[in-house]
Amino acid sequence: MRERNERMPEAVAPSARIGEAVARLRAGGLVAFPTETVYGLGADARNVLAVSQIFAVKDRPIEHPLIVHLADASQLGEWARDVPRIARRLARTFWPGPLTMILPRARGVPDAVTGGLDTVALRVPDHPLALALLRAFGGGIAAPSANRYGRVSPTTAAHVREELGNAVDLVLDGGPCAVGIESTIVDLTSPRACILRPGAVTKRDLMGVLGSAFSPIPGRSQRAPGCAASHYAPSARVVAVSPGEVAQVIDGWLGRGRRVGLLSTRRPASLPSSVVWLPLAEEDSAQARQLYACLRQADHLHLDVLVAVLPPAIGIGQALRDRLRRAAGRGGVSGEGRLSVAAESDDGQ
């Protein structure tokens, strides 16, 4: 991932913009910034008033905790107490990168950030601009995705402006996100680690580091919003289907007079000409990069219904299925048990 970012020098804003962003954060303002996953809406994580602005701008329920972004793993102890050895091992392997760890929070971490929980979510993002900002700022930056609550996450600076307009003081433009979907969240607060949200760091990746200390089951009933059954949703109704269901489902919606789109890697030969085809790349990480832009495009095209073909539950495909099912309002990894990591193996990876 870092390689990809390094190939995008145009993505790095002039250092003057970093100075301006730091000044705004120190003054309690909001700054939208790129990460390798999606664009974040950042505030000084120690400033309760600034953090409350994130919730106001996003229309996000205040009990939904935020991820605190750090410049590097040496800051873990400032935010988490009793950092377990497995957390350090995961940090060494996956940071900077798309892995968020849930750990017991250190004293002084504001309730505004943790939603009142005794745990805190921490991540070091892998994007040169995010890292430059974090290093220059020096502290933790609390940042959820820079979109209105429940809507599609932004993967370009233009998406952020489209979503939030003037509600955000400054948008740092770091080009399109290299991963394109939110980080994997792993809960390390119980004896066996478990995934709360699938992402680009897969179950298999985690098992490679944690071995038997990893429990491939969906998270316990602990609040993990972003894991709400409906999320990442465009205005168009998303209908997530298996490849064999496409023709029948499309016919059904066309019969009801709806404007229909199809999100799939291949255009079926028999696709009715009135259906708008939104092509997805064959490769799963490329699909992740494209997914949210495609969901936005469905709205720009004023589609009523977007029929989306679920990819196989292999590797990052697990996360893509999770996001598509939530976009369809049907729950994801811990919703209704439909996509339990236990039930759908990714052994084929």
118-157 footprint of ligand AMP as x/- string (CB under 6 A): -xxx----------------------xx------------
Give, in degrees to the nearest 5, the angle at Cα 316 between 330 and 199. Answer: 70
Region of 21-29, 59-67, 272-280, 331-339 interacting with ligand AMP (CB under 6 A): 59-67
31 forms bridges with which residues in the sheet? 42, 170
Q: Which residues of 170-204 are buried (b: 16+ CB within 10 A; e: fewer)?
A: bbbbbbbbbbbbbbbbbbbbeeebbbbbbbbbbbb
Q: Are 327 and 295 in contact (CB under 8 A)?
A: yes
Q: Does 185 bind ligand AMP (CB under 6 A)?
A: yes
Q: Where are the beta strands (DSSP E) in 109-209?
A: 119-123, 141-142, 170-171, 184-187, 194-197
Q: Is 226 in the site for ligand AMP (CB under 6 A)?
A: yes
| Cβ-proximal residue to ligand AMP, closest one | 226
Cβ 168 vs Cβ 41: under 8 Å: yes
Give the binding site for Mg ion (CB under 5 A).
145
Find the angle CA(298)-CA(8)-CA(174) to the nearest 5 degrees: 60
Residue closer to ligand AMP by CB (options 192, 302) is: 192
Q: Which is nearer to Mg ion, 140 or 261 (CB)?
A: 140
Our finding on whether 331 is near ligand AMP (CB under 6 A) is: no
For β-strands 141-142 and 40-44, DSSP reports them as antiparallel
Choose from ligand AMP, Mg ion, none: what does 1 bind? Cβ within 5-8 Å by kind. none
Q: Does 291 participate in binding ligand AMP (rule CB under 6 A)?
A: no
Selected from 5, 47, 53, 114, the binder of ligand AMP by CB under 6 A is: 114
Instruction: Report the residue number, 146 or 303, with the smaller CB distance to ligand AMP.
Output: 146
Cα(101)–Cα(105) distance, integer angstroms: 11
Name 239's Cβ contacts closer than 8 Å, sequence gap at least 6: 249, 253, 305, 306, 307, 308, 328
How many residues in the shown chain lie near ligand AMP by CB under 6 A?
Answer: 20
* Stretch in the footprint of ligand AMP (CB under 6 A) among 3-11, 90-98, 223-231, 261-269: 223-231
Nearer to ligand AMP, 50 or 249 (CB): 50
Q: Which does 93 bind (CB under 5 to 8 A by kind): ligand AMP, Mg ion, none?
A: none
Q: Rg of the chain over CA atoms, in angstroms?
A: 20
Residues composing the chain? 349
Residues 67-106, mask of contacts with ligand AMP (x by CB under 6 A): x----------------------------------x----
Q: What residues make contact with ligand AMP under the rule CB under 6 A?
A: 64-65, 67, 102, 114, 117, 119-121, 144-145, 182, 185, 196-197, 222, 224-227
